[in-house]
Structure 1
Amino acid sequence: MSAGDGVTGQATVSSLDDSQIRELIRRFSLHSKETQNNAHELFAEMRKSCPVAHSEEHGGFYALSRYQDVYDAAHKPETFSSFPVTIPPFGNPTPMIPIEADPPHHRNYRTLVGRQFSPKSVASIEPYMREMVAKIIDDLAGSTEADLAKEVAVPLPLRAILELYLGVPEKDWDMLKDQFLYMLQPDPEASDEENQERSMEAGLNCTKYFAEMLEDRRVNGYGTDLISDLDQAEVDGERLEDDEIFGFCLVLVPAGFDTTASVLSRLLLMFAEQPELRSQLEAIVDDPDKLDLAVEELVRYIPPQPGVARNVTEKCTFAGEELDEGDRLLLLWPSANRDPEEFPNPDEIVLDRQPNRHLGFGSGIHRCLGAHLARLELKVFLQEFLRRVPRYHVTPGQEAVWHTGNTWGVKKLPVTFEAWSAN
């Protein structure tokens, strides 16, 4: 099964000539619709001719496209700092923990929340996850039309992180979702300064909200949520500062829902555009081992993030390029995951692909803390959705609407269903 030249799930775009490709690489940006629409054509050219490509956007940065280079950079935290983790930066004055923390502090921070996201802890919430998916499908049942991005892809991971991990009341879910999307999905038509101002304001609003939650826990008693755990935790014998707790929250919420929502939304669009993929998944959905392999392949093919940034801490030579202290790198997970040097037939979905050393969840010390949770969400979603929801197509006269930014996904997916089963 092959993808088009653009982002998986979008319509194939016309091929670009060499000069157009060079120009788009020169202006490469994860916030650009042109970059998104031509992503895999650009990635292929970058891997071939300029694996350490330079973009003039956002003050200038280098983009790594080959699997081995991306992997190696992710495993050199002493040379490539994770603060800031985006290009352009969010604008936060202190690192967001633990994703923007470097060694040696990073390990201590990550250990604080590692238990809640361990395979054993995640497995324990499967019944609740299945209830969440069933409720979402129940709300859809019998509908002629729906927006699957709004009604399926976002609510599931959003509810999982806010309800199961943070204990946020339902009345506040939409407010927090909107604020975090301001941070994660900048307006591609606005300037970096305008987007940064909006992001900082949204971050401040979320911080105020979590400060109120923290004060409530201290006054009325701790619960089993992460904020309660963090306020009672110690690092090297010292309790966390409030700003450190808020830093955790500012990472855990968007990382806990927007990345998974990105994968779900694109997968839902693929079901409409590539019904043969749905048929292949339906044939294995009741086989846990085969489904596990399929989930890994889907994450390789449509990784949750298009890339993360690193900051060069010292003058060095990397992948043949002379880098100076302060230079910025962008590690392109999707390009690495399509590198033919690592993956045979990389532009095809091979549901039983083995081995599959994909970088869909990142790599190195910052490998996605919530990878086990994301796998569970995708697996339970596929099992329940494919069994109960009829086939559908994008509603005639409408179209899927994509967003760019620190995740790439579908923010509007209007579909029309075939007849629902009486069951």
Structure 2
Amino acid sequence: MIEKFSVHNRESLENRDAIFREMRESCPMARSSAHGGFYAVSRYKDVYAAAHKQDVFSSFPVTIPPFGNPTPMIPIEMDPPVHRKYRTLVGTQFSPNTIEANEPQLRAIVNTLIENLQGRPQADLAEEVAIALPLRAILEVYLGVPEKDWAMLKREFLYMLEPDPEKSDEENNERAMQAGLNCSMYFAELLEERRTNGFGDDLISHLAQVEIDGQRLTDDEIFGFCLVLVPAGFDTTASLLSRLLLMFTERPEVREQLTAIVDDPDKLDLAVEELVRYIPPQPGVARNVTTPMTFADTELAVGDRLLLLWPSANRDPEEFPNPDELILDRQPNRHLGFGSGIHRCLGSHLARLEIKILLQEFLHRVPTYAVAPDAKPLWHTGNTWGVTELPVVFEDWDTVGASAGQGE
């Protein structure tokens, strides 16, 4: 399984913990033959080091296999010095202060999602909560996209982010490129509407007015930003939330532990960091060797590819005592769930707030539940690992409070 490891392979997903453990212990620079061959980097110290060596490891392309785009996606596939110029353009939009200002709107979205569940005997918590929350956050709060277009954009984004493991790399790339084109065409219409009717405080309006070295962004650069920030802004958080909601059925004691501390802000902050360490949504990102070198006792040539395995690094016993245990008050916690280095997740503050708000409202207002009889969760592989279907049956709704905002 190590020799054929791939983030698009269901066998790799299902056996991830055992695979990562064996890699760290026996072959920390494991060679996989999948997608033309690459090195899987599994130890914390090596993953961290590689993420900070942008002078010898390029971020373009950032996935294995590559998306197939001819130019780097902005800013995730850009290298210094140009990377900082582009990332800085949206730094304010995703800063802690800006994210905190959006808290009332995000909480209103969560309350609406919960109200849509109340009193029902069953629901799909992946589709109706885990995916819906971050999708609405990025489309409604950040872009002002009309509700009628949410489902279409979600479908196209998922074509880009979740390749079909039964299809070839070429087939998946073709589908992803078409989805990217469809989204770009939609963003072009949105941009034209903003230019015609006046700019607002949404992300596209902002990108249309900022400058780099005295020059406005081209339309293609604006679309490139959106094609990274929008799908990445919802799919990673959706993957983590879906796995968390599934965990509540598999390990009910975790829900009990979180319920006990959810109203304590300091304890909740620590718990969120531990959840991101324990169930990071992204299995890894690629780096590409630009100069011959020795890294982690391995001779690398120009063009060699590395896959930095965040989940494996987060379970490395050299960095985390009892790494396979979920310890909600773990300190210190230098997890790599949001990545590391210059490409550390731009939306990490938004993801943290979405997780916290959902826990505050959900744990107080939604009863315990179990996976529906004769059903099972449906996992997806790809550039994130998560659950796309989580059919559950609720226990008695009368056992929980029904008033909105009870978790505030």
Structure 1 length-normalised TM: 0.94
Picking from 242, 256, 263, the partner of 1:265 is 242
Q: Note the C-alpha offset of 1:245.
A: 0.7
Q: Note the C-alpha offset of 1:268.
A: 0.3
Classify the secondary structure of the residue corresponding to 2:154. helix
Aligned to 2:100: 123
Q: Note the C-alpha offset of 1:241.
A: 1.4
Cα distance in 1 between the residues matched to 2:127 and 2:141: 20
**Could you list the per-position Cα deviations for residues 13-51 of structure 1 after superposition, in whole angstroms to 9, with x for gaps in the alignment?**
xxxxxxxxxxx0100000000000100100000001110
Cα distance in 1 between the residues matched to 2:145 and 2:110: 19
- Superposition map of 1:195-274 within 5 A: 195-274=172-251
Q: Note the C-alpha offset of 1:213.
A: 1.0
Cα distance in 2 between the residues matched to 1:47 and 1:293: 26
Cα distance in 1 between the residues matched to 2:230 and 2:208: 17
Picking from 159, 164, 167, the partner of 1:187 is 164
- Superposition map of 1:16-415 within 5 A: 24-415=1-392
The 4+ residue runs of structure 1 with deviation greater than 4 A are none
- Greater shift in the superposed pair: 413-422 or 346-355: 413-422
Q: Percent identity over the alignment?
A: 73
Q: What code does the residue aligned with 2:280 have?
A: P
| Number of corresponding residues | 400
Classify the secondary structure of the residue corresponding to 1:129. helix
Cα distance in 2 between the residues matched to 1:393 and 1:172: 32
- Greater shift in the superposed pair: 338-347 or 301-310: 301-310
Cα distance in 2 between the residues matched to 1:244 and 1:222: 18
Q: What code does the residue aligned with 2:394 have?
A: F
Q: What code does the residue aligned with 1:254 have?
A: P
Classify the secondary structure of the residue corresponding to 1:314. coil
**Could you list the per-position Cα deviations for residues 249-281 of structure 1 after superposition, in whole angstroms to 9, with x for gaps in the alignment?**
000111110000000000000001110000000
Classify the secondary structure of the residue corresponding to 2:2. helix
Unaligned runs of 5+ in 1: 1-23
Unaligned runs of 5+ in 2: 403-408
Cα distance in 2 between the residues matched to 1:47 and 1:391: 37
Q: Note the C-alpha offset of 1:304.
A: 1.9
**Could you list the per-position Cα deviations for residues 75-125 of structure 1 after superposition, in whole angstroms to 9, with x for gaps in the alignment?**
011111111110001111111111111100111111100001101000001
Structure 1 vs Structure 2 CA RMSD: 0.7
Cα distance in 1 between the residues matched to 2:187 and 2:290: 32
Q: Note the C-alpha offset of 1:200.
A: 0.5
**Could you list the per-position Cα deviations for residues 221-243 of structure 1 after superposition, in whole angstroms to 9, with x for gaps in the alignment?**
11111111111111111111111
**Could you list the per-position Cα deviations for residues 345-369 of structure 1 after superposition, in whole angstroms to 9, with x for gaps in the alignment?**
0000000000000000000000000
Q: Note the C-alpha offset of 1:307.
A: 0.5
Q: What code does the residue aligned with 1:378 have?
A: I
Q: Note the C-alpha offset of 1:155.
A: 0.5
- Greater shift in the superposed pair: 347-356 or 161-170: 161-170
Aligned to 2:405: none
Aligned to 1:21: none
Q: Note the C-alpha offset of 1:215.
A: 1.4
Q: What code does the residue aligned with 1:77 have?
A: Q
Q: Note the C-alpha offset of 1:197.
A: 0.5
Cα distance in 1 between the residues matched to 2:70 and 2:61: 10
Q: What code does the residue aligned with 1:390 have?
A: P
Cα distance in 2 between the residues matched to 1:317 and 1:215: 50
Q: Note the C-alpha offset of 1:218.
A: 1.5
Cα distance in 1 between the residues matched to 2:364 and 2:160: 35
